[in-house]
Amino acid sequence: MANVNENSTLKLIEIQRTDSTDFDVIIIGSGPAGVSSAFPLIESGLRVLMVDGGKGEGINPPKGQFLDLRRNNQDQWHWMIGKNFHAIRKIDTVSPKLRVPTYSEVFNQFGEANNIDADNFTAIGSIARGGLSNAWGCGVACLTAEEMAEYPITPEEMNKSYDIVVSRMGVSGGQSDDLSAYYGLDAWSQAPVPLDKIQGSLLDRYSKKKDSLLMNGFRMGSSRVAALTEPKAGRKACNSCGNCLWGCDRHSLYSATQDLDSLIEFDNFHYESGVIVDQIESEGKLVSVHGKSLNTRKLYRAKRVLLAAGTLASTRLALQTIDYREPVPMQSSPTAAFMLWSPHHLGRAHDATFGLGQLSFLLNFKDGTTGFGSLFNTTGIPLTEFARYVPFGKRFGVDLLTSLSSSCIVGNIFLPGNLTDTSLQLNANNGLSVKGTYHDKVNPLMREAQRSLASNFRRLGAVLIPASFKIGRPGSDIHYAASLPMRWDPEIGQTDRYGALTGAKGIHLVDGSCLSNLPEKPHTLVIMANADRIARHIAKTWNLEN
């Protein structure tokens, strides 16, 4: 991206207001972290500006039951393939979400807009309205006290924010099971989504054999997901239509766009889309935010700036602000995917069901590492996606899966983020260079995971399909965090317990970049609660510190 003093042909619009009309806080990014930090600020009366890239959400999601649409809808190619053949053009991308036409604008142009260059790392982000929450897996969890050992805050400090955020977004899956303590969400959760027949059978067998499975380091329970099983604030409960991959027209799945629509109703909240922020300057009592909108340069000023643009984009802006050019580490969870076949369900027809995680599991490794994963129904996912999991060519794989897919489910597993050796560094052009590789422990751990999963699921009546266990590339997890971690005594390239950037006044990191570490579990709810916590502190101390 060009610096502010370059591109002199661009028109400069300076929004510099007096104390009576100026924005108090500018939030960069409208994803989960951005909206979560906005609510406490506007509720306290502060004047808040939120800016983002403002990309649209692609085409509208399908309406109706997935299986009915596949049988009868003559226009299904619009959202299956895309009018511009999006699914075919993106055939080599790492995630099926990147091939879905309804999400085409969610991931588009992130790297180019934020001047990010990746080497041996899949760098994914979003400049869309609502960010990556338009296309996420909806997995949620709280951190345990042990997982927060590196944090300069206590679990009790996070609990109020968990309560506030979960009550607003809606979470399901709450019931007493072997994952209750791990998730820490049952007190706030709606009932779980109904299980499909295969996963219901797995859970039934697990309940009968769990004592021996627990001794083997394997435990299972309901997935906790940001999906409604009861109506909430104009959003409808999940009806198991099977369209989760393609978009939820019932708004049962949480998206930050829902919160953004609520924020816009406040008089002291202003939202400006279509702005790519490329530079921030801390100048005495004010912070300047420079950006570009089409062919126009923009300049905003406020007393505080909250970076919520996603870990990669926020880190680039922060490092540029303090002109820090040494590499900083970032955590990213090594991940793998696999496919299970249930012989007892061979020949059954596909049925409409919830398309995201229904059951989840924990796997304890011999060295003390923990792996976390979830299981997904195959309804609502094209056969070509599953052909990647069978030890045949795609042509024969599709033929085989035509018969097998209705008796199969797919799963994933994540390892802790400290097992990915990733560095971020500001380059000479003020872009962000990302380099990543897995720690030497990852491949042995993944081999152990494959053996353990095959053994444990076989005891539950499911077969891990040979050669279906595939390790993803570094970064393909899209779980990025801890590049500017919160510390008790932060150094340059770190943040304090309220996300304040060392070396620059008035700038706070509130997204994944400021997390102190990245366990294997879902981290979006942690980011949202921490953003809420930081914003509440800023609002509470505003008159004292400004």
User: CB of 514 within 8 A of CB of 484?
Assistant: yes
DSSP secondary structure string, 490-518? Answer: --TT-B-TT-BBTTSTTEEE-SGGG-S--
Q: Can you give the pLDDT at residue 11?
A: 42
Q: How many other β-carbons are positioned within 10 Å of the β-carbon of residue 175?
A: 14
Low-confidence ranges of the chain (pLDDT < 70): 1-21, 55-59, 86-94, 383-399
Give dist(CA 372, CA 417) in Å, integer. Answer: 12
Cβ–Cβ under 8 Å, residues 303 and 500: no
Which of 325, 83, 361 is closest to 210 using CA atoms? Answer: 361
pLDDT of residue 19: 36
- Taking the C-alpha atoms of residue 281 and residue 275, their distance in angstroms, rounded to an integer, is 17
**Distance from C-alpha of 507 to C-alpha of 26, rounded to nearest angstrom:** 10
| Separation of alpha carbons 261 and 196, rounded Å | 33
Length of the chain equals: 546
Q: Which residue has the tokens 């109506």?
A: 231
CA-based diameter of the chain, in Å? Answer: 72
Pairing state between β 359-364 and 296-307: unpaired
Give the up-direction half-sphere exposure of residue 291: CA atoms within 13 A in the CB hemisphere.
23
Cβ atoms of residues 221 and 174 within 8 Å: no
HEC secondary structure over 299-342: EEEEEEEEECCCHHHHHHHHHHHCCCCCCEEEEECCEEEEEEEC
Give the model's pLDDT for residue 15.
Answer: 39
**Lookup result for tokens 């599991």:** 361
Q: How many C-beta atoms surround the C-beta of residue 419 within 10 A?
A: 19
Report the distance separating Cα 129 and Cα 122, nearest Å: 22
Residue 21: predicted pLDDT: 38
Distance CA 403, CA 301 (A): 61
User: What global pTM score does this model have?
Assistant: 0.92
- Count the helices and strands in the chain (H runs, E runs): 16, 20
pLDDT for the residue 17: 38
The pLDDT assigned to 64 comes to 85
Nearest to 133 by CA among 37, 251, 292: 251
The sign of the torsion formed by the CA atoms of 14, 33, 108, 415 equals positive
